[in-house]
Amino acid sequence: MNLLFPFEKNWQKKLDNKLDEHLDRESWLRIQLVKWLPWTFRILLAAFISFLFVVFTNYGKQKQSFIYGTTYDPWYAMSLGLNWKTTYLEILDDLGVKYLRLSTFWDQIEPIRDQYYWNDFEWMLNEADKRGVRVIMAIGRKLPRWPECHDPSWLGELNEETLKQEQMEMLKKAVIKLKEHPSIEVWQVENEAFFPFGICPLADPRFVKKEIELVRSLDPNRIIITSDSGEVGNWIIPGYLADKLAISMYRKVRLGWSGYVVWPVPAWYYRLKASLVGLDHNDVWGTELQAEPWAPGPLHLQTKEELEKTMSPKRLINNIQYAKKAGLERVYLWGVEWWAYEKERGNDWYWEYAKKLYKVR
């Protein structure tokens, strides 16, 4: 007997038994895996096929009742050499647009600190009031159309805390001044505030929440929306801050690092994404469907060949069909100023095609 380790053999025997149990268990698991793997694969395959069926049947349904709108920017119209008032009236009367988005660019409403200018906005809203047009009024610092943040020059003199105070004051002035117009159906607070696009800092969600709370306190009965990129935004923060989420919908864009890219996103993606982040798809509106070219510079300086890389009659028709399949309640087309510009140059295809869309009720 080993006097130093009298229980050595007993411990070795127990260890051997444990090892045998482990090997037996491993062999049993291996046998079970081989036995059940085909069935497991079949079950997973069936679940995946069922998932695809749900996606394509529930998330790929074409919307039957469909509302078309558009976004109008008078300053962009002027940059194309258009008379902005004439163009605006043609949009309302000739195109027959009944759902419209306008923006109160900060550098236009407060070009000088504490001196506000509302005449042009009042005129547009008065014309919309007369015609029963329903307006989304976008307010805030970051709003649709490049460079996104339309900052007045005097803003650069302020520190961050003072800038936010001025921003809240501007927001307050806008709501109080414009809320009596019956044409305003919706307030949009900021545009893609959490998406890194434009010459703009990323917004603080807590500050945007304060902006929305301010607007709601001043006008509690109107819908409030905010927006995100439809393709690459996460939707979570903007989706829960406001009553509805507005999204952009682009099909072919120009990315500096890779040239022209078609987003590999099927139409049902938007409804599925809404479900995944806990939103009702009826609370997601497409407020920026691509209906003009995405070019490396001002559109009126581009060649026809360059413009047709991202927009053509066929592309616009396909984009409209895509939006219908996405199943969103509303879609606002982006590019009405460019259609008007093309019409003045003798190409009225886009204008006439859009007119057919807007005449359908």
**Quick one: which of 256, 249, 327, 321 has its CA closest to 290?**
249
For strand 184-189 and strand 252-255, is the pairing parallel, antiparallel, or unpaired?
A: unpaired
Q: Using one digit for the tens of pLDDT, what is the confidence trace for 158-189?
A: 999 999 999 999 999 999 999 999 999 999 99
**Gap between the Cα atoms of 311 and 354, Å rounded:** 14
The CATH code that applies to domain 64-359 is: 3.20.20.80
**Gap between the Cα atoms of 306 and 300, Å rounded:** 11
Residue 206: C-alpha distances to residues 138, 164, 203, 230 (Å) = 19, 12, 9, 22
**Gap between the Cα atoms of 152 and 144, Å rounded:** 16
**Quick one: which of 304, 203, 293, 201 has its CA closest to 254?**
293
Domain boundaries, the chain: 7-58, 64-359
Q: Using one digit for the tens of pLDDT, what is the confidence trace for 57-103?
A: 555 556 556 799 999 999 999 999 999 999 999 999 999 999 999 99
Residues of the chain falling short of pLDDT 50:
1-9, 11-12, 14-16, 18-19, 21-23, 25-26, 28-30, 32-36, 39-40, 42-43, 46-47, 49-50, 53
Contact call for residues 105 and 127 (beta carbons, < 8 A) = no
Residue 302: C-alpha distances to residues 74, 165, 296, 333 (Å) = 21, 41, 8, 21
